[in-house]
Structure 1
Amino acid sequence: MKITSIDIKHYRIPLDPPFRASWDPKPRTQFGSTVVSVHTDEGITGIASGDLMVGFAGHENLFIGQDPFEIERHSQIIDNIDLHYGRCWPLDLALWDIMGKATGQPIYKLLGGRQNKMLAYASTGEMLAPEVRADRAVGLVEEGFKAMKIRFHNANPKDDIKIVEAVRKAVGDKLEIMVDANQGWKMPWDVERTWDLKQAYQVARELENLGVLWLEEPLPCHDFIGMAQLRQMVGIRIAGGEMNRNWYDFREMIRHGSLDVYQPDVALTGGFTQIKKVAEMAQANGHWFTPHSWSNGVGMLANLQLTCAVSTCPYFEVPFDPPTWTPERRDFIQADKLRVDKDGYIAAPDKPGLGFELDMEMLAKYEINSVHMW
């Protein structure tokens, strides 16, 4: 089998009402997805999404004529492109989609096959008044969720903690609660100060008293030593790594003892090929691996495939914060929307490869030339 061509196309839907992401000062009035299709001489096409593939144009010749199964070679080239231009890891996902389709197996089985479903946690995205977030948390319980993540980003962290207190009072022990402090990285236009170690410690102690499972991104993503110090100071688990760009960042975090929960996203960093190794390295050192999955529905599905393959962590992230973040928005390029079952689980498809089909009507309606996601 040989790769014959690679196509990249872009799509964008309007968001009305807008999505007000806690980590972004600008309300989001549109949402974009990029689809990469890798064609072969045997009629098998690998399809993936999850990042913009900026910087890939002109590099198709590095893959055309090559065997898609030579994945370590391809991963090295994508890594080289990442260094010079931008993140093109959906190409790795598309190559694995080819391998799954060629062998008749879902990717999670090719990568390890540990389980075929994960207990989902509803990863909320907006900052809301305590009583509103508490009401929505009760709704999550009614939908079957067993866990949720609350986003922080108020000017005063005490106001964020009040939200957790309200949720805990409303749901008791019916939901496991995680918290994302959103201090690890910034949008290009965000110039507000981030927490320091003392601030992160004070918040972590409050959350520990509220029975929160983990505190995510409490310090800048490059502060490996600071996170290690915080981890030793508190009993709550410290999570992070969602936007770290290089596999060796995770090697150094593990060496320093920076995190309890490692969250690299296969669509943003390393693809299946590299992040499987990171997951194994983290778990071999006694830590949890459960990836970030906030890109789009295909990116979430890719991360679910790897999580089902290897993870020993009890939970998987499902971006879900209705009415402004729903499967209909998140998965708009997919024919079948990904949903959690009545018992709180999300299952990996049993179809070969990534296991999804494109919604051709939506693609025809929303194709664009620009590559801006938001």
Structure 2
Amino acid sequence: MEPKAYIQPKTFKKTKLIVLVLLLAAVLVFLYGLIKIEQFKGPVEKDNYQYVVVDIKNNTGTAQIAQQLFDNGLIHNPVFFRLFVRNQGLDRHLKAGKYDLSPSMSLPEIIDRLQRGQLNLISFTIPEGLTLEQIAASLERQGVADAQVFLRLAEEGDFIFPWMDELPEGPLRFEGFLFPDTYRIPEGFSEAGIIQMMLDRFKEVYSEEYKAKMNELGMNILEVVTLASIIEREIRKPEEQVLASAVFHNRLNRKMRLESCATIQYALGEVKEVLLYSDLEIVSPYNTYRNDGLPPGPIAAPGKGAIHAALNPTDDDYLFFVAKPDGSHHFSKTLREHEQAKNRYLR
């Protein structure tokens, strides 16, 4: 009779430990796989509502579509996209066309869009120099938002913005920070989505170079945008904005009041062709004829040119400017020169 095999206790324990380790490793790999799957199915940037145009030509294969989406920062992984589409049996159901897609969309949302074809898109434009209320009214006129809902959300809604803690509380917290531009949105896009999109655009425009310049000048974001908004409303010619910036910086440095007519118009709540001396006496924190320094916040939405100007004044010693009939301005270094310019151009 042959002897029975005998497993020594130490060997048995070692084998059992190896099996447990392998099982644990398998479970961890499985769980990691589930996590990665959920990650790959989710949006690349859930708070980025900026749309990217993706042009899918006829007879474009799934692999090429996946690469296009990946190159535009819309999906996490092109291989996973192909496997996911194949598993859903949608290889032959993705349609050619020009698509406006955003990194805030999940993988199933993008695939659904490609499967259904391009949605109708609406363009809207917000020009530089509008107040928050004017932006809301413009959006309503263009048929893309309800003005009251827009303003309520601008005051109370939850949004992602790097400088949220530096903004004033209340209905004017986003005054000046909804960046003026042309946008494209699908039909039915929400007011909250529009606000987040415009905030994201501001964040995109306000580059690292601007942040560095802001720190160099010893300013904060609210001060920069407030000054930029005054420049935007005062000066329409781009080449003159850096000169006006020099005027305002020089006056601030010398503790002189800004005396900006644009801030008076904001305080009045209307744009008057000619301001009266009585208008300059209006009691308001935005009256820069009565109050020192910058007003408490922006008076309009400045464009990139005005923001750049606010951060990059020229080295000129100008302290005054006056409008000419053709819309340009005369800049002066002394009060005497300024009075002469006023007599010449404001007769």
Same fold? TM cut 0.5: no
Counting strand residues as a fraction of each chain, which structure ranks higher?
1
TM range (shorter): under 0.3
Higher Cα radius of gyration: 2
Which structure carries more helix by proportion?
2
